[in-house]
Chain A
Amino acid sequence: MATLQTKSAARMMMAPAVIALLIWMIVPLSLTLYFSTLNYNLFNPAETPFIGLMNYKFFLSDPAFLTALRNTLALVAGVLVITVGGGILLALLLDQEFYGVTIVRLLVIAPFFVMPTVAALVWKNMMMNPVYGVIGQFLNWVGIGAIDWFSNAPLTAIIIIVAWQWLPFATLILLTALQSLSEEQKEAAEMDGAGALSIFWYITLPHMARAITVVILIQTIFLLSIFAEIYVTTSGGPGLQTTNIPYLVYSQALLQFDVGGASAGGVVAVVLANIVAFFLVRLIGKNLDA
């Protein structure tokens, strides 16, 4: 509610941000769509004939695409399982009262602020290196024997690194949700004869359900475009074992200079992300009304 003057002022104030984002979204996206219909290679930029949906056909029927799709989904699923499961446990732990809980909370959230390239390189070299890495030495010490992560289980290694980076995010959000649960509700349940486990199952977990959904959706959006961790550790290899869709698009564009094919891949990535985004936007929109 306001006057015409404030309303038109409001429109003026919103315009710069809206226009900036509109340009940012529409111009490159329509160019990507356009390029995806061309036979456009940076080695031969003079000739870019229109070839319809051929790029899509090539991209989607390329065995590399299926591998990349599988890797992308495995990466997302693996990280989600670890971060949501671990996040719930960590949130429950940090919700307890103990000496130094604030400091422990800072320690737990720290990985989120570590830049992806640092996280990836530190893990690759100092944690997971089979000879000098701390994990390898620990495994040797307990008698299992060191694992050469990046040769034998490269995707798992990347899942671990990314999960470590996102664990704080899940923890922090779930902890926030947990702390908004009123003590009275738990006490009422206790008066009704519920034990600790029943309280967790019937009161705490449903209370966190929304936060868990938010964590899953937002992380999925970000995890679908994991790039830097792969770029600095495996470059998608060995073979295609750690190539996900963003990395595939990147290598097609900037390593093989196939603009058309990469653009088609980009469009596929956008479509994939939109499926998730659709649900996320609806969830947040519902929350706006409340």
Chain B
Amino acid sequence: MARAVSTRRKLTFTLIGWAVGLLVFFPVLWTILTSFKTELDAIALPPKWIFFDWTLENYATVQERSNYFRFMTNSIIIALGSTALGLIFAIPAAWAMAFSPTPRTKDVLLWMLSTKMLPAVGVLIPIYLIFRDWGLLDSRIGLVVVLFLINLPIMVWMLYTYFKEIPGEILEAARMDGASLWKEITHVLAPMSVPGIASTVLLSVILAWNEAFWTLNLTTSNAAPLTTFIASYSSPQGNFYAKLSAASTLAIAPMLILGWFSQKQLVRGLTFGAVK
């Protein structure tokens, strides 16, 4: 039984809670606000909080000058492509480990996990050279493959922990009812684990979208996603706060929304089931 909390205590924590919450969120909030300012208002001293002339011109400028939506499209293709590829590989693997475990299953799972711990710089050079030789530098397909491989262990793990919660008897029932392996997965397992699969997809998309090692090192312009595009603001010319803010807001907004939906599952995915 939860106990009744005194109103005074509750009000005190409301005050503290909101103050801390807004403090942590402030950089994001400030970015969003600044994106609607003119460049002059963006660097006004003292800062203008909400009483400024709201404008959408930054968004228009960002698109005009840099063809923003091409980078956005690249981000979408890379995030969705690597996730789709990941699902195709991860669902069967997680099925096998969850429902037909062998004494080695645990080792395989831990080994997959350990590939995730390989620091990217350890393999940067060979991957870079292979990509150069195969003409995969600055190509979407190359990035899709790399991000798919990077996120595959997390996807397998996450699906595995979800599948583990499905009683094996249900799959056996399907087998008795005459379902083939394919139908067992498509008619019984997949529909039963829609929430698990959905959160796996969300997490994978978020991680791929925000990935900023391989995207920075393997792309320059054609296949460059938003991470690379935003990085180009690091050597700015002239007034640029408002435009940086507009570009940033567009880049982070989709993930903020997806992330807020998947916050619970995030814990499971990122701790490999060690904390549920």
Instruction: Please tell me whether chains A and B touch each other in their complex, using a CB distance cut-off of 8 A.
Output: yes
Q: How far does the alpha carbon of A276 sit from the alpha carbon of B113 in the complex, in Å?
A: 13
Q: A172-B266, A270-B118 are in contact. Are A111 and B149 (CB under 8 A)?
A: no
Interface 1/0 per residue, A21-40 and B, CB below 8 Å: 10011011101100100000
Which residues of B in the span 181-229 have a Cβ within 8 Å of any Cβ on A?
Answer: 181, 206, 209-210, 212-213, 216-217, 226-228
B74 near A: Cβ within 8 Å? no
Measured between beta carbons, the chain A residues less than 8 angstroms from B272 are 284
The tally of CB-CB contacts under 8 A between chains A and B is 318
Please tell me which one of the listed residues B119, B124, B230, B233 contacts residue A115 in the complex, with CB atoms under 8 A apart.
B230
Q: How far does the alpha carbon of A167 sit from the alpha carbon of B266 in the complex, in Å?
A: 14
Please tell me which one of the listed residues A6, A168, A221, A246 contacts residue B121 in the complex, with CB atoms under 8 A apart.
A246
Measured between beta carbons, the chain A residues less than 8 angstroms from B179 are none
Q: State whether A107 touches B24 (Cβ < 8 A).
A: yes
| Smallest CB separation, B98 vs chain A (Å) | 10
Q: How far does the alpha carbon of A283 sit from the alpha carbon of B271 in the complex, in Å?
A: 11
A53 near B: Cβ within 8 Å? no
Q: A121-B230, A121-B233 are in contact. Are A28 and B123 (CB under 8 A)?
A: yes
Q: State whether B256 touches A273 (Cβ < 8 A).
A: no
Measured between beta carbons, the chain A residues less than 8 angstroms from B119 are 224-225, 246, 266, 269-270, 272-273
Interface 1/0 per residue, B126-138 and A, CB below 8 Å: 1111100000000
User: A214-B271, A284-B272 provided; 19 other pairs, C-beta below 8 A?
Assistant: A7-B102, A9-B96, A16-B89, A20-B152, A93-B16, A98-B11, A104-B17, A108-B25, A110-B25, A110-B260, A112-B259, A112-B266, A116-B227, A134-B30, A227-B121, A246-B119, A246-B213, A254-B128, A281-B114
Name 20 A/B residue pairs within 8 A (Cβ), A-sorted. A17-B112, A21-B149, A94-B17, A98-B11, A98-B17, A104-B20, A108-B21, A112-B259, A114-B28, A118-B230, A118-B248, A122-B27, A122-B244, A126-B27, A172-B263, A177-B275, A228-B212, A254-B128, A266-B124, A287-B274
